[in-house]
Amino acid sequence: MNLRRVFKIVVGFVACLVLVPAIVAGRASKALQIYFIDVEGGQATLVVSPSGQSLLIDTGWLSFDGRDAIRIVTAARAARLKRIDYVLITHYHDDHVGGVSQLLERIKVGTFVDHGPNLEDSDVTRRNYAAYQKAITGHPHIVASPGIGLPLKGLEVHILSGAGNLIQSPVPGAGTANSYCDSEPAPAEDPSENARSLGLLIQYGNFRFLDLGDLTKKKELELVCPNNLIGATDLFLVTHHGSDLSNSKALVWAVHPRVAIFDNGAHKGGSSAAWQIVHNSPGIEDVWQLHYAMDSDNDHNVAADRIANLAEKPDGQDIKVEAASDGTFSVTNSRNGFQQKYVKK
How confident is the model at residue 312, as a pLDDT?
78
Q: Which helix (H) or strand (E) holds 321?
A: strand 319-323
Tell me the pLDDT tens digit for each residue of 265-277: 999 999 999 999 9
Answer yes or no: is pLDDT of 91 > 50. Answer: yes
Across residues 284-313, what is the average pLDDT? 95
pTM across the whole model: 0.91
How confident is the model at residue 344, as a pLDDT?
87
Span 32-334 CATH architecture:
4-Layer Sandwich (3.60)
The 8-class DSSP code of residue 225 comes to S
List the single range of 20-24, 110-114, 144-148, 297-301 with lowest mean pLDDT.
20-24
8 Å CB contact between 63 and 186:
no
8 Å CB contact between 197 and 125:
no
Across 145-171, b (16+ Cβ under 10 Å) vs e yields: ebeeebebeebebbbbbbbbebbeeeb
Closest CA to 271 of 291, 300, 313: 300
Instruction: Give strand pairing partners of 156.
Output: 203
Closest CA to 247 of 273, 280, 228, 225: 273
Confidence of residue 319 (pLDDT cuts 50, 70, 90): very high
278 CB contacts (<8 Å, ≥6 apart)? 236, 238, 242, 247, 252, 257, 260, 262, 284, 287
Tell me the pLDDT tens digit for each residue of 227-261: 999 999 999 999 999 999 999 999 999 999 999 99
Question: Structural domain boundaries of the chain?
Answer: 32-334
Q: How far apart are CA 146 and CA 124, in angstroms?
A: 26
Coil, helix or strand for 332? strand
Tell me the pLDDT tens digit for each residue of 192-228: 999 999 999 999 999 999 999 999 999 999 999 999 9
Instruction: Give strand pairing partners of 84.
Output: 109
How confident is the model at residue 7, as a pLDDT?
36
Tell me the pLDDT tens digit for each residue of 1-53: 443 443 344 334 334 433 333 333 334 448 999 999 999 999 999 999 999 99
8 Å CB contact between 225 and 250:
yes
Report the mean per-residue pLDDT for the chain: 92
Closest CA to 302 of 256, 212, 238: 238
* Residue type for position 150: L
Answer yes or no: is pLDDT of 337 > 50. Answer: yes
